Chain A
């Protein structure tokens, strides 16, 4: 068990550019979550996947944001036409959900810190 990993750890980009982040969850985990954390704030939910299906999206996830989890394993989060307001830490978390099993803990990755200039 290597934990949740995220790449890159840091990304600096110019306004208007596209960026893509990757999250590799813990291998047996079927749920994957994306959160955004701005400086000095708690994380805010963006979206989550059950296997490869994207089941819920927050209103924070504008149409410039898209997330995928093509084979139910790793996930990518793409931001198109970045804006300075997109500067934040993007956190990924994973968990194992099974019907009838209520003990679910989300394990977080180290995050990708995005700075839009």
Chain B
């Protein structure tokens, strides 16, 4: 059983398109996250959701919008895709908000390529 699953694994699309990446966790966790990993392998948080409430939005362009239909899902919708959006996007979840001493479980990543 995959704890945190993302779809699709690969996504190639043209500039200006709108796309969504889906994420589901079956761990019963309260908080979910989206991270972006750039070409230099640097992971940076984009959003975190706790009980359907957006907690952090780290200066991400408003073209990116997280959508959480329920506690187990946090989808990432991107409007008007740009070349610079090309990266690997990781979904993650944790038991509680704050990650003080709790594990964060990551999905396998979605490699987005904008052409």
Please determine whether chains A and B interact with each other in the same assembly: no
